[in-house]
Amino acid sequence: MDLKQLRYFVAVAEELHFGRAAQRLFISQPALSFDIRKFEDQLGVQLLARTNKSVALTNAGQVLLDEARKLLQQAAEVERITQRSAHGLAGRLRVGFVNSMLYRGLPRAVERFEADHPAVEIILREMNTGEQVQAIQRQQIDLGCAYWGTFPAEVISTPIFSEPFVACLPTGHPLARRKRLKLDALAQEPFILFPRTVSPHYHDLIIALCVDAGFSPVIRHEARLWQTVVTMVGFGMGVALVPKTLQHAGDARVSFVPLAGDKKESSVLSLRRTGDAEPVASRFLEYLEAAAQDNLRP
């Protein structure tokens, strides 16, 4: 039994006329009659009761008609999903992300993408950069959103977007109401920063920013996550340099002040397996880039 036989049978069963069914199928009536006979012989049952004047379904034919319609509908759905998947419109996408992506447009990108692509299931997994690299190597995730690092040959990284750092200060700080701030104004302040063992890239980048401004920061406290850094600043435990989109963290106890002058930026990378060209991942990255840019606007 194949799909062509089912389509031929359904056409005859619905028309109850070989001539009209043949026209519907764009084949000759003798060829259709031959194929239906062959189909019945193959099944070993009579599906159609024929006379010179009429065609009617047998009990077996009625049962097959109901099932054949279901099978043809399922086959069409499989074909549709396969075609959509080839264009990045269906399937499953497993995304690893560093925590700060929650403030960089990731939730909005997922919401918009799933609304536009209901046949795609997105699964989010919070991981640090090193964990994402391992997960990609083990094919446990399809896409990573991570920080800079040293990556093995089987993992390819591509910048998604960059954003400036801003000063994160307690709202009551004397500098918190400035429209723009020179970084050296924080030279005597206690800093809150990532341990280098957790994020060598950001640790070294922020130290370099301060050194370029003419001072070495006094690191009073350390935290492992950006939102923890912001929370600690809110408690008045120090100041910090954070990516601009952290202003969406929603903590009324802190103020974010832009830095004067051209400074190094915070970058986020996409991580994928080398040679992997899965369309759904590329399409989702377009949504993520757009949502991240929205977040950078005031």
pLDDT band, very low/low/confident/very high, at 87 (cuts 50, 70, 90) = low
Q: Please, which contacts does 220-226 make with residues 24 or more away whose CB atoms are closer than 8 Å?
A: 220/190, 220/191, 220/192, 221/190, 221/192, 221/193, 222/192, 222/193, 222/194, 222/195, 223/192, 223/193, 223/194, 224/194, 224/195, 224/198, 225/99, 225/100, 226/99, 226/100, 226/103
pLDDT at 84: 60
Per DSSP, what are the bridge partners of residue 257? Answer: 167
pLDDT at 89: 63
Q: Which helix (H) or strand (E) segment is 8 a member of?
A: helix 3-15
Mean pLDDT of 206-235: 92
3-state secondary structure of 166: strand
Mean pLDDT of 176-191: 94
CATH 1.10.10.10 domain extents, the chain:
3-86
Phi, psi (rounded to 5 degrees) for 289: -60, -40
What's the N-to-C CA distance of the chain in angstroms? 63
Residue 107 has pLDDT above 60, yes or no: yes
Cβ(284)–Cβ(114) below 8 Å: no
CATH 3.40.190.10 domain extents, the chain:
94-159+268-296, 162-266
Q: Does domain 3-86 have CATH number 3.60.21.10?
A: no
One-letter amino acid at 264 equals: K
Cβ(97)–Cβ(145) below 8 Å: yes
**Mean pLDDT rounded to a whole number for the chain:** 88
- Domain range 94-159+268-296, its CATH number among 3.40.50.1980, 3.40.190.10, 3.40.50.2300, 3.40.50.620: 3.40.190.10
Cβ(282)–Cβ(143) below 8 Å: no
pLDDT band, very low/low/confident/very high, at 117 (cuts 50, 70, 90) = confident
Mean pLDDT of 165-182: 94
Residue 26 has pLDDT above 60, yes or no: yes
User: In angstroms, what CA-CA distances link 171 with 117, 167, 168, 258, 282?
Assistant: 42, 12, 9, 14, 40
pLDDT band, very low/low/confident/very high, at 99 (cuts 50, 70, 90) = confident
Closest CA to 8 of 39, 52, 49: 39
Cβ(8)–Cβ(40) below 8 Å: no
pTM, whole model, 2 decimals?
A: 0.63
pLDDT band, very low/low/confident/very high, at 130 (cuts 50, 70, 90) = confident
User: In angstroms, what CA-CA distances link 104 with 40, 145, 148?
Assistant: 62, 11, 16
Mean pLDDT of 79-108: 79
User: What pLDDT, in 10s, does the model give residues 225-257?
Assistant: 888 999 999 999 999 999 888 887 778 899 999
Burial class (CB in 10 A: 0-12, 13-18, 19+), 216: exposed
% pLDDT > 70, the chain:
94
DSSP-derived pairing of the beta strands 155-170 and 265-273: antiparallel
Give me the CATH code for the 162-266 domain, please.
Answer: 3.40.190.10
CA atoms within 13 A on the CB side of 185: 17
Mean pLDDT of 13-32: 90
DSSP-derived pairing of the beta strands 218-222 and 155-170: unpaired
pLDDT band, very low/low/confident/very high, at 211 (cuts 50, 70, 90) = very high
User: What pLDDT, in 10s, does the model give residues 14-23?
Assistant: 999 999 989 9
Cβ(72)–Cβ(119) below 8 Å: no
